Amino acid sequence: MGGIRLRTKFLLSMVVVSAALTFTTLLVVRHTVQTQVRLGIERDLQNSVSAFHNFQKQREGTLERSAGLLADLPNVRALMTTSDAPTIQDASRDLWQLSGSDLLLLADSSGRVMALQATPTEIRVREAQDFFSQVVSHDAARHWWYVQGHLYEVFPQAIYFGPASEHRVLGYLGLGYEIDDRVARDVSRVAASEVVFRYGDAIVRSTLKPSLPSRSNECASSIGPMATMCNSVSRLSG
């Protein structure tokens, strides 16, 4: 009987030791897997951010050059010499269509808005004036404008009389491109991630599913002044 009890105790001890080793092994494996997944997400996120920055840099360079070429056209220079707002407004529609932009602003040398072409049409000259006064006073290659629920990236250019080196400014031109659903999809595809564009607390555009609006707070990394990347939400599950 004593031998049987001893074997039983020995077997129970082996079972306990085996269970403890199995449990410990599972904990180690779980921790290792979680660590690898987290590192993989961080690495993919960094790659996505880098891809987006390269894409954004090329895009902005192209748009800035487009604004510069339009501002340098002889007919644009001639138009601004009229200093007549109705004339400039009428002629600006053809320029707007030529540019292929979502927004066109023309202002005189003092920064007074003389023409506005935009989608949507409910944007008013008064709103454009408030914005463009800030543009003229801040020397920057691009500006963000949030108006009527729409977010534009605006590229301003001076319109010169004669060579630019002589600094005889006739006026200013601003080309704007809206951050719309198409842009959001393009950015999402390039970055291989869901993205959310914000202005302050307002969500302007998002590639997140409508059923997951609150998940935008889980976005993992900022990829610009207005954009946030959401690798933690989908496609990796984000």
Architecture field, domain 72-178: 2-Layer Sandwich (3.30)
Give the mean pLDDT of 90-99.
Answer: 92
Could you tell me the pLDDT band of residue 223, with boundaries at 50, 70 and 90? Answer: very low
pLDDT at 126 exceeding the cut of 80 = yes
What is the reported pLDDT for 237? 28
pLDDT digits (tens, 9 = 90+) for 40-49: 656 665 666 6
This prediction's pTM? 0.69
Q: Domain ranges for the chain, please list them.
A: 1-56+189-238, 72-178
What type of residue is 228?
T
Would you place residue 155 in the very low, low, confident or very high pLDDT band (cuts 50, 70, 90)?
very high
Asked if pLDDT for residue 212 goes beyond 90, the answer is: no
CA 168 → CA 4, 22, 125, distances in Å? 107, 81, 25
Residues 6+ apart with CB under 8 A from 45: 193, 220, 221, 229, 231
Does residue 235 have a pLDDT over 50?
no
Q: List b or e across 19-40, with b for residues whose CB sees 16 or more CB atoms inside 10 angstroms.
A: eeeeeeeeeeeeeeeeeeeeee
Tracing tokens 């009229």 back to the chain, one arrives at 82
What residues pair up with 203 in beta bridges, in sequence order?
198
